[in-house]
Amino acid sequence: MGKTIRPMLPRKSQYGVDPKYIEKRISEYPEMTSIMLNDIFQDMPSIIYPSNKGLDAVREATEKALEKVDMSMIKPDHSVNILASHHGFTLLGGEPYAEVLKTIRDVIEKRTGTDSIRLRAGVGLRFRETEEYIRSFALDKHFKGKAQGVAPIDEGIPIETEIGTLYGLKAVYDADWIVHAHNSDVREVHFHRQVDRAVKPFGMSYARIDTRSTYHQNMGPRAANFVARSIFGSDFVQSKFAFTTFIEMTPTGIKDVIADNNLLALNDKITVSGCKYYGKIMTLLGEIDECIVGLDFPAPVPYVFAAGVIFANFAGSNVDIFDLDNPLPPYTWYTEAFYGKDSLPLVENVPKLNPAIKAVIHNYAWGGYPSTFFAEHLPTIVVGTEQAEAIKRDPQNIDYIRNSVIAESLDSAMEFAYKVSGTRKVIIFDGAIGGLNVSQELADLLVKKVPEIDKKVENELLPKWLKQRGIDPKEVELF
Amino acid sequence: MRVVNWTASVDKEKCKASCQKTCPAGVKVPVYIDLIKSNRFQEAYEVIQADNPFPSVCGRVCHSPCENECRRGKQDAALAIRALKRFAGDQLINGGLPVPRVKENKGIRVAIIGAGPAGLSAAYFLTLKGYQITIFEALEVAGGMMVAGIPEYRLPKDVLNKEIDVIKNMGVEIKTGVKIGKDITLEQILRNGYKAIFLAVGARKDQPLNIPGEELEGVLTGVRFLHDVNLGNPPDFSGKDAAVIGGGNVAADAARSALRLGANSVTVYYRRTKKEMPAIEGEIAEMQHEGVKIHVLTAPVEILGNNGKVNGLKLTKMMLGKPDKTGRPLPVPIDGSEFTVKADVVISAIGYNPDAADIDPALKTNGWGGIVVDADTMVTSIPSVFSGGDCVTGAATLIEAVSAGKKGASSIDKYLGGDGIVVKDLNPPRNFGKIIDGDTKRVRVPTLGKVEGFKETELGYTLEQAINEAARCLQCDVECRTCEKVCPVLAIKGKTSGQRNVAEVDVNYCVGCNACEQRCPEYAILLNKLDKPVIIKTDVNKVDYEQIASLCRKAKFHPEQIVCYCTATRAEEIAAAVILGAKTPEDVSRATGVRTGCKVECIQPVLRILEAAGIQPEPRKDGWQWYGRTPTVWEIREGIKAKFNHKGFYFTEDIQLLDRLIENKKDN
């Protein structure tokens, strides 16, 4: 068996069990091995991080990307809000994103002369999460105290848009200029369907509850991201928007840092790279016939990573969720909403969660996000009574443990999962960088499937996906 | 439906403004800022004085940790709290400072050793309680490091003396030139009828550099040098090149003093970067402004000399390594990077320690000379003898010394039979004037702008400047109410208690959703497990189901559709609650438990069902909850559809899908 890639270390957070209780990681078992993505997909791009240059490479790339950005609109007496989201801090340990934010601040100060530069870091449903990251990465010091975590229940500000009044967060827009600092990791394809991915935070991290709820409840599974597009396109936001900076992510690491005064131009670029690189991995994972899933990463259940893919997407990888002709992925909140009292779907075409998943071992994953749906639909084994207690305490997951079984240790959880599932194929969502940790049996299957998937995505799926999003596949090379 | 397992409660000690909580002495910052804004300067001074006998001194030299936590700092710049404190003192200093009324003399004598900030503060608070205090001070003057360590250009002696005079006027006797352990012993003091002793002898022993050449003429230590400068025996530095080793406040004071003594050049050498320098940031900036050079990532390896006198310094370049125990990066020498510089004077200011070894053989001290005390009571290894301040903690700050003196006074009061409450609670009525809310730059404190000998460099605010700056205070102690604004069931409210608001939870409504706990800027909310879970639910069977179904469909929901993912609440339950009388989202939350999990995602279904029932909820009066009309996909204009359909927005197809759901067409 091969040596496994080191999983992402547990992080001390109020949303997860204390790391001291995570005694063992799933990748430590002798039957586990790793698949390096560069070995199986020859066209994965070269990356700048992780690399021998460490964070210096990220800083240099950010500085270089910002060279071509026009900042002349920012005057020395102006204020600037650099807008960040919690998601960036979950990528590769969070340091690269923190470094990008620090660099943007330093470059703005140097180029424009203003020192009124604030960090406003938005969150999803864990309202203190970015406050934890701000402290952890010393962003408060770097921003001279002007760093603030903002949450969707904070004070709002109405924004007139072409679909009516929507609401942003006051603290996000309380500066003369805003800078949108994000990343191209596809993450929630089940929600945004890789449509206007770059714009999404305007309807999420930077928005109030009223507007987030409009996105998730009022707009339909494929039209939802128009909420973000409407806010971004509003006169109010356009009057403040200065430029954007994105970490260009791939499943193997950071390809580059890109920046532009035109967010929509950058949006097309990341639509292409997201479909191409992540599309291949997701399609490959969709080929798994049976498996045990290991959750082992410092994030809520749906957001634990393997090869750049989150568990929520693997739970739906039995359906091509990049294909917009498929109305519903097996998991989105629309799908979740569509199960009636008899536990059957209320409408046709609601696909079941990935039937390949025979058992889920919850070795380490946070609360702070409604995840009961997964435990209701997939046999789930939670490791450790302390972790179970932490989840029980979470108001967003009151019924998660009621739908799970609790194992005293990871050893007993693994043993149980092997017995009840009858499979030895294991995929571990542990944030392993550059590849994924799996059991040897699963590795053999995946490696065998690669050539076929590579060809299928390149020749058949990718052109279709791009066409659906208004991008001529012939122009892909231009991006 | 929601199962409630937890309820919130408020930690009243934490439910205070950050500035007040961060101040080691607990000074009620928002109260005195409010009084300054209202031109009530004596009251402002008295509010500070209630917790800290040195308002004017701290207004000049405090390192102001309160400003680091000021919420205004996240917006534009922290309020200039220190400068405002000084302003309050400046309004009174020439007309006479208020002398607090002391309680009737108890006839109990307490001795204090050391007339520094800790000793004087202990004397002040004990005197307020009616104890008879005598301070024994080794120097010929009172003030400790305030007089011997801080130069005149930062803290004029007459300002310090006026605040010491207040303490004297309260009845405290100060005997100077008496060294404990030499001129008098602890035993003698106790034998003379003193019922307790508070040792506050400070920390004045300079740490040696431990490098060759330290014995040369021209090598000075920081504390000793400042002592000589401040107490009238300054050396002549005319035409000399001075090198100062260290990055703390003593180094900064020594460097700026050296400049004022005529030095040709003054250079500070520090082994880490400027970011890690422990000196007050403003002092570093002032030092540079005045012409002191700072050479970072450099450490001395040898002091060079000729004929027994200093003539240079050999240094090595450093780089930063992994963090040390304090969390600061460890400086590591770079091999082969040594270089020499010319220097006629070298001032070593790398730290100073307590020197309590000779006080009494029975007094237990630790490895670095600090007095060992019980952390709670501050009692030493000798009964009736207490201790606090730098001599216990090692060199700390002025306001920490004040805090130690206050804590020592409280412990001694308890020891002598009192209640330990040494702070007089003042309750001046508040005005709560207008707050300047928009981005407003902090009003800069005027300075001399140049070096004029030892004349005070910082000039203090004018009246207009002070009022403007005070109006930037966000009055967090009364205006916060964050918990109230985020609560989805209106179960928590700010209640005025004395001079500030303290949140209170109505346990009859609290559902333990943790919204308040998650957003409280002061981390003052606790969650407590209920003995027995409580279920919040609206029974759909109480309403005609056709009515429910009709309302749901009007709102474009299937009645069985789940609309709250955290509680798995279906549209039918919300419709039932509305039919049964719920008029607002808060009513719906109280009746069904929705919006009490993630607090975010189910507000639109609630609003859609209310709207379908003909109810348009008004925005909540607290201003944070905006209930505008809800846009839906069915209302997207044709023009928009046409424009964006080819970009991946499948409006029409999604409308068809949702319509099929509402009609529950499983068999199509």
pLDDT digits (tens, 9 = 90+) for B301-353: 999 999 999 999 999 999 998 888 777 889 999 999 999 999 999 999 998 89
pLDDT over 50 (residue A324): yes
Query: Strand pairing partners for B379?
Result: B386
| The two three-digit tokens of residue A477, written as one number | 């090379």
Query: Distance from B22 to chain A by nearest Cα, in Å?
Result: 15
Query: Distance from B151 to chain A by nearest Cα, in Å?
Result: 28
Cβ distance of B601 and A216 shorter than 8 Å: yes
Chain A positions in Cβ-Cβ contact with residue B75 (cut-off 8 Å): 118, 146, 174
Query: pLDDT digits over A387-415, tens only?
Result: 999 999 999 999 999 999 999 999 999 99
d(CA B13, CA A65): 48
Cβ distance of B558 and A346 shorter than 8 Å: yes
**How much is the average pLDDT of A198-207?**
97
Query: Distance from A222 to chain B by nearest Cα, in Å?
Result: 6
Q: Is B666 on the interface with A (CB under 8 A)?
A: yes
Instruction: Compute the mean pLDDT over every residue in chain B, rounded to the nearest whole number.
Output: 94
**3-state DSSP of B392-403:** HHCCCCHHHHHH
Which residues 589-608 of chain B have a CB within 8 Å of chain A? Answer: 596-605, 607-608
CA distances from B69 to A421, B18, B21 (A): 53, 6, 9
Per-residue pLDDT at A1: 45
Cβ distance of A174 and B653 shorter than 8 Å: no
Query: Distance from A391 to chain B by nearest Cα, in Å?
Result: 12
A316-330, A348-362, B354-368: the lowest-pLDDT one? B354-368
The pair phi, psi for residue A296, each rounded to 5°, is -155, 55
Q: Is B643 on the interface with A (CB under 8 A)?
A: no
Question: Is-contact A133 A121, C-beta < 8 A?
Answer: yes
Q: Is B509 on the interface with A (CB under 8 A)?
A: no
Per-residue pLDDT at B325: 77
- Nearest-by-Cβ selection for A223 from B568, B633, B661: B633
Cβ distance of A218 and B632 shorter than 8 Å: yes
d(CA A246, CA A249): 9
Which strands make up the sheet holding B293-295, listed edge to edge?
B219-221, B345-348, B241-245, B265-269, B293-295
Q: Is B459 on the interface with A (CB under 8 A)?
A: no
Query: Strand pairing partners for B414?
Result: none
- Nearest-by-Cβ selection for B566 from A229, A370, A393: A370
**Under 8 Å CB-to-CB from B357, ≥6 apart: which residues?**
B365, B369
DSSP assignment of B90-106: HTTTTT-PPPPPPPPP-
Q: From the CB of residue B481, how many other CB atoms can be counted at a distance below 10 Å?
A: 16
d(CA B460, CA A438): 67
d(CA B423, CA B428): 15
Low-confidence ranges of chain B (pLDDT < 50): 667-668
Closest residue by Cα to residue B205 from B268, B154, B157, B250: B250
d(CA B373, CA A229): 63
- Nearest-by-Cβ selection for A220 from B75, B624, B654: B654
In B, minimum Cα distance to A138 occurs at B327
Query: Distance from B144 to chain A by nearest Cα, in Å?
Result: 33
Chain A positions in Cβ-Cβ contact with residue B64 (cut-off 8 Å): none
Residue with tokens 């216990």: B392
- Nearest-by-Cβ selection for A336 from B565, B623, B628: B565
Query: Distance from A221 to chain B by nearest Cα, in Å?
Result: 7
Q: Are strands B2-10 and B525-536 parallel, antiparallel or unpaired?
A: antiparallel
Which candidate in A15, A209, A231, A372 is best for mutational testing of the B interface (most B CBs within 10 A)? A209
Please report the number of interchain residue pairs, chain A to chain B, with beta-carbon separation below 8 angstroms: 221
**How much is the average pLDDT of A48-61?**
96
Query: Distance from B271 to chain A by nearest Cα, in Å?
Result: 20
| The two three-digit tokens of residue B358, written as one number | 């000779």
Query: Strand pairing partners for B500?
Result: B497
**How much is the average pLDDT of A14-34?**
97
Per-residue pLDDT at B148: 95
Amino acid identity for residue A80 in this structure = V
Q: Are strands B309-323 and B339-342 parallel, antiparallel or unpaired?
A: antiparallel
Chain A positions in Cβ-Cβ contact with residue B651 (cut-off 8 Å): 220, 223, 226
Q: From the CB of residue A469, how many other CB atoms can be counted at a distance below 10 Å?
A: 23
Which candidate in B520, B633, B645, B668 is best for mutational testing of the A interface (most A CBs within 10 A)? B633
- Nearest-by-Cβ selection for A341 from B560, B664, B668: B560
Helix (H) or strand (E) holding A462: helix A462-468
Instruction: Compute the mean pLDDT over every residue in chain A, rounded to the nearest whole number.
Output: 95
d(CA B603, CA B623): 16
d(CA A336, CA B661): 13
Query: pLDDT digits over A64-81, tens only?
Result: 999 999 999 999 999 999
Cβ distance of A347 and B664 shorter than 8 Å: yes
Chain A positions in Cβ-Cβ contact with residue B589 (cut-off 8 Å): none
**In the 8-state DSSP scheme, what is residue A45?**
P
d(CA A274, CA A287): 19
Query: Distance from B30 to chain A by nearest Cα, in Å?
Result: 20
Higher pLDDT, A265 or A426: A426
Cβ distance of B657 and A347 shorter than 8 Å: yes
DSSP assignment of A372-386: HHHHHHS-EEEE-HH
Which residues 608-637 of chain B have a CB within 8 Å of chain A? Answer: 608, 623-624, 626-633, 635-637
Q: Structure pTM?
A: 0.91
**In the 8-state DSSP scheme, what is residue B538?**
-
- Nearest-by-Cβ selection for A214 from B604, B627, B637: B604
d(CA B211, CA B616): 79
- Nearest-by-Cβ selection for A213 from B527, B603, B623: B603
Residue with tokens 């305007």: A202
pLDDT above 90 as % of chain B: 85
Query: Distance from B512 to chain A by nearest Cα, in Å?
Result: 8
**Under 8 Å CB-to-CB from A275, ≥6 apart: which residues?**
A194, A322, A462, A465, A466, A469
3-state secondary structure of A8: coil
Closest residue by Cα to residue B621 from B433, B485, B471, B436: B485
Cβ distance of B601 and A333 shorter than 8 Å: yes
In A, minimum Cα distance to B659 occurs at A347
DSSP assignment of A182-236: EE-----HHHHTTSSGGGGGGGTTTB-HHHHHHHHHTS-TTTTTHHHHHHHHSHH
Per-residue pLDDT band at A477 (split at 50, 70, 90): low
- Nearest-by-Cβ selection for B626 from A152, A158, A344: A158
Per-residue pLDDT at B667: 44
Chain A positions in Cβ-Cβ contact with residue B567 (cut-off 8 Å): 398
Q: Is B644 on the interface with A (CB under 8 A)?
A: yes
Q: Is B339 on the interface with A (CB under 8 A)?
A: no
Chain B positions in Cβ-Cβ contact with residue A395 (cut-off 8 Å): 6, 511-514, 566, 596-598
Q: From the CB of residue B92, how many other CB atoms can be counted at a distance below 10 Å?
A: 18
Per-residue pLDDT at B666: 56
CA distances from B188 to A29, B184, B348, B644 (A): 72, 7, 37, 92
In B, minimum Cα distance to A216 occurs at B601
Query: Distance from A315 to chain B by nearest Cα, in Å?
Result: 17
Chain B positions in Cβ-Cβ contact with residue A225 (cut-off 8 Å): 649
Cβ distance of A220 and B560 shorter than 8 Å: no
d(CA A462, CA B239): 77
